[in-house]
Chains A and B, each alone.
Chain A
Amino acid sequence: MAAEQGKTVDLSVAMILDPVPAADWLVIAPVALPLIFGAVLLMLRHRTATQPRVAIAALAALFAVDLGLLIHVWTGGPVVMTMGRWLPPFGISFVADMLGATLVVTAGLVALVCGIFSIGTVNDIGRRYGFYAFMMLMVAGVNGSFLTGDIFNLYVWFEVFLISSFGLIILGSGRRQIDGATKYAILNLVATTLFLIATGYLYGIFGTLNMADIARKAPELRETAPLMTLATLYLVAFGMKAAAFPLNFWLPASYHTPRIVVAALFAGLLTKVGIYALLRTLVMLFPPERSVLSGLIIWLAIGTMLIGIFGALAQNDIRRVLGFVVVSGIGSMLAGIGLGSEVGLAGAIVYAVHSMLVMTALYLLAGQMRRAGGSYSLSDLAGLYRSHPMMAAIALFLVLAAAGLPPGSGLWPKVMLVQASLADGIWWLALAILVTGLLTTLALGRVFVLAFWRVKEAAERTGSEIATTASAQTAVLILCIPVAVMGVWPEPFIAAAQTAVAGLLDPATYAGAVFPVEAVQ
Chain B
Amino acid sequence: METAFSALVGIFFAVAVYLLLSKHIIRILLGAAILSNAVNLLIFTAGRLTREVPPIIPAHLYMPDEATANPLPQALVLTAIVISFSLFAFLLVLTYRAYQELGTDDTEEMRVAEPADDAMPPMGY
Among B25, B39, B42, B121, the one with the most A-chain Cβ atoms within 10 Å of its Cβ is B121
Separation of A162 and B83 alpha carbons in the complex (Å): 11
| Interface set, chain A 1-24, CB cutoff 8 A to B | 1-2, 5, 13
Question: Is residue A179 contacting chain B, with contact meaning CB distance below 8 A?
Answer: yes
CB-based A-B contact count at 8 angstroms: 120
* 24 contacting pairs across A/B (C-beta < 8 A): A5-B60, A178-B94, A178-B102, A179-B98, A179-B102, A179-B110, A179-B111, A185-B90, A185-B94, A186-B91, A193-B35, A196-B39, A200-B42, A203-B43, A203-B47, A204-B45, A254-B113, A314-B120, A314-B121, A316-B121, A317-B118, A378-B121, A450-B122, A450-B125
Cβ B73 vs Cβ A203 within 8 A = yes
Cβ A379 vs Cβ B119 within 8 A = yes
One of B72, B87, B113 near A256 (C-beta < 8 A) = B113
Cβ A179 vs Cβ B20 within 8 A = no
Cβ A454 vs Cβ B125 within 8 A = yes
Cβ A152 vs Cβ B25 within 8 A = no
Cβ B112 vs Cβ A179 within 8 A = yes
Contact with B along A196-211 (1 / 0, CB 8 A): 1101110110000000
Size bracket of the A interface = 35 or more
Cβ B97 vs Cβ A315 within 8 A = no
One of A156, A170, A253, A454 near B94 (C-beta < 8 A) = A170
Question: Is residue B50 contacting chain A, with contact meaning CB distance below 8 A?
Answer: no
With CB as the reference atom, state the residue of chain B lying closest to A4.
B59
Cβ A179 vs Cβ B113 within 8 A = yes
**Known contacts A175-B101, A203-B76, A253-B113, A186 near B121 by CB under 8 Å:** no
Separation of A232 and B95 alpha carbons in the complex (Å): 31
With CB as the reference atom, state the residue of chain B lying closest to A252.
B114
Question: Is residue A159 contacting chain B, with contact meaning CB distance below 8 A?
Answer: yes
Question: Is residue B15 contacting chain A, with contact meaning CB distance below 8 A?
Answer: no
Among A156, A179, A314, A377, the one with the most B-chain Cβ atoms within 10 Å of its Cβ is A179
Separation of A382 and B121 alpha carbons in the complex (Å): 13
- What number of B residues sit within 8 Å (CB to CB) of A? 46
| Interface set, chain B 67-120, CB cutoff 8 A to A | 72-73, 76, 79-80, 83-84, 86-87, 90-91, 94-95, 97-98, 101-102, 107, 110-114, 118-120
**Known contacts A179-B113, A203-B76, A193 near B32 by CB under 8 Å:** yes
| Interface set, chain A 120-167, CB cutoff 8 A to B | 152, 156, 159, 162-163, 166
Majority secondary structure of chain A interface residues (helix, strand, loop or mixed): helix
Question: Is residue B14 contacting chain A, with contact meaning CB distance below 8 A?
Answer: no
With CB as the reference atom, state the residue of chain B lying closest to A186.
B28
* Residues of A with C-beta under 8 A to B95: 182
Separation of A200 and B80 alpha carbons in the complex (Å): 11
With CB as the reference atom, state the residue of chain A lying closest to B25.
A182
Cβ A190 vs Cβ B35 within 8 A = yes
Separation of A455 and B124 alpha carbons in the complex (Å): 12
* Residues of A with C-beta under 8 A to B73: 203
With CB as the reference atom, state the residue of chain B lying closest to A202.
B46
Cβ B46 vs Cβ A200 within 8 A = yes
Question: Is residue A180 contacting chain B, with contact meaning CB distance below 8 A?
Answer: yes
Cβ A196 vs Cβ B97 within 8 A = no
Question: Is residue A257 contacting chain B, with contact meaning CB distance below 8 A?
Answer: yes
Contact with B along A369-393 (1 / 0, CB 8 A): 0000000011100100000000000
A154 to chain B, nearest CB (A): 12
Separation of A200 and B97 alpha carbons in the complex (Å): 33
A321 to chain B, nearest CB (A): 8
Question: Is residue A446 contacting chain B, with contact meaning CB distance below 8 A?
Answer: yes
**Known contacts A196-B39, A204-B47, A450-B125, A1 near B118 by CB under 8 Å:** no
* Residues of B with C-beta under 8 A to A200: 39, 42-43, 46, 76
* Residues of A with C-beta under 8 A to B43: 196, 199-200, 203
